[in-house]
Amino acid sequence: MKAQEENTAKHNKAVRFRYIESKKDKVLITLLFSWAYFCSYTTRLNYKTVISAIVESEGMKMDMAAAALTGMFITYGIGQLISGWLGDRIEPKFLISGGLVLSSALNILLPLNTDVAYMTVIWCVNGFGQALIWPPIVKTLSNFLEENDYRRSAVKVLWGSNIAVIVLYLVCPPIISLCGGWKSVFFISAAVGLAGAVSVFIATGSFERKYAAIPCTEAEVRTVGGKNEENVPGNGPEKMRGGAVILLFALLVLMIAAQGALRDGVDTWIPSYISSTFGLSTAISILSGVILPVFAILSYSAASAVFGKLKKNEILCCACFFIASVVCSAALLAVRLVSPDGNAGVFAYFLCAALSVLVLALLVGCMHAVNMICTCFIPARFRVFGNISFVAGLINFGTYVGSAAATYGFALIAEKSGWTGTVISWIALSVSGVLLCIACFIPWKKMHLSANPDKKTPESSE
C-alpha cells in the first residue's frame, strides 16, 4: 500500500510543457525543426548526390563507392530503434543537437581519406548519428503543440527534407566546379549541420523556459478515443501490453515496410526503368533530383486533406493511398504493354514516356503520403502512453527495412523477369499494403486509437 502511494506521488510530480498558444511561436518552432531536418538531409544525402563525382575523381568502382550508402542505410534503420528508446528518456534537444554535431564531424572526416573501407566506416557511423534526429523531433513537437497544431507543423517539418534534396541537386554541381571538387561539398555540409545543431539547442531551450513545465495534476486532460486520460509521462507502458499491441505494431511495421519498399525502391529504379524503356537517361537526374521532391511536398498537402475528410483515421487514410498506388502501378503496366517502339512515331513514343514518368511520380507521391501519416500522425496517438519517440523510431525502422530489401529485391526481379515482372511486383506490393491496412483496423480500434469524430477541433471549424 505504501509502495502504491509512493508510486502515485511520483506520478503526481511528473511534468510536461504547456502547449504553445502564440501563433508566432507556432510558426517559429515549425521553422526551427524544418531547418533541423533540412540540415539532417544535407549531411546525409550529400554523399549520394556526389557519388558520381567521387567515382570519377578517385577512380573507384561504383559498387565500392556505394558500399558506404548501403552501410549507412543499415545503421540508420537500426539506429531508429535506439533513438526512439532514448528519445523517451533523454531530453530531445540533446539528441537532435548531438546527432547533428556527430554527423557534421563525420562530414569533415570523410574527405580526409579516400580509402573505401575508411569512407564506409565513417558513413556507417553517420547513419547512427542521423538516426538520433527524427524521433526526438516528433517528441518535441508533441510536447509543445496540441493535436491539430502538431499535425500541421509535422507536415511542414517534412518539407525541410525535400527542400534539402532539391538544394543539393542544384548547388552541388557548381560547388564541385568552383570550389575544388567533391570534398568541398562535405565541408560546406558540415558547416550547415553545425549551424543547425547550435540553433536547435538554443531555440529549444528558449521554448522550454518560455513554456515552463507544469505538474501533470494541473495539466489539461487529453481525449483519446473518447476516453479521458491524463498525460502522465511514463504512466502508460503497462497499458501497451497484450496481444492487441503486439499485433498492431507487427502489422504497422509490415505496412510501413511495404511503403518504404515502394517509395525508395521505385524512386531508386526510376532512372534505370525510363532509360532502358525509352532511352531518356539525360533528363532523369533532373526528374529524380528536383521533380520528385516537389511531388512529395504536394503529396503531404493531399494526405492532410484526405486525412481531414476521413475523420482523422490514419489507417483508413493509408489504405486509400495504397489503393491509389495499386491504380498507378496498374496504369504503368498498361502503358508499358501498349508502348510503341521508336519506329511507331515520335509523338506516341514520347507520350508514353511522359505518361510513365507522371504515373511513377504519382506512385512515389502516394507512398510519401503514407510515410507522412505513419511517421508523423500515428506516433502522436501514443503520446498518452509516454512512448511517442519509441513508436516514431519503430515505424521509421520499418520504413528502412523495406527500403533496403527493395533496393536489391527489385534489381533481382528485374534481372530474372524483366521490367514487366518488376512492375507486377509493385502492383502486388501495393495490394499487400491495402490488405495490411485492413488487418490493422481491429487492433487499432481495440486500443481506442481512432480520433473522436464528435470532438470539435480547430480544423473542423475552419
Mean pLDDT in each 10-residue stretch from start to end of the chain (462 residues)? 43 61 94 97 92 85 82 90 90 95 97 93 95 94 90 93 92 90 95 97 92 55 38 43 80 94 86 78 63 88 89 91 96 87 66 87 94 92 82 91 82 86 95 96 77 40 32
C-alpha 360/C-alpha 329 separation (Å) is: 8
| pLDDT at residue 282, rounded to an integer | 53
Domain 14-214 identical in fold to domain 228-452: yes
CATH H-level, domain 228-452: superfamily: MFS general substrate transporter like domains (1.20.1250.20)
| pLDDT at residue 190, rounded to an integer | 97
pTM for this one? 0.81
C-alpha 91/C-alpha 210 separation (Å) is: 16
Q: Look-up: residue for cell 578517385?
A: 58
Fold of 14-214: Growth Hormone; Chain: A; (1.20.1250)
What lies within 8 Å, CB to CB, of 359 at 6+ separation is: 328, 329, 331, 332, 335
* Domain ranges across the chain: 14-214, 228-452
Grid coordinates standing for 409? 529485391
| pLDDT at residue 409, rounded to an integer | 84
Beta bridge partners of 213: 17
Angle, helices 314-338 vs 388-446, to 10°: value is 90
Beta bridge partners of 17: 213
| pLDDT at residue 381, rounded to an integer | 86
* Helices within 132-242 (DSSP H only): 134-144, 147-178, 183-210
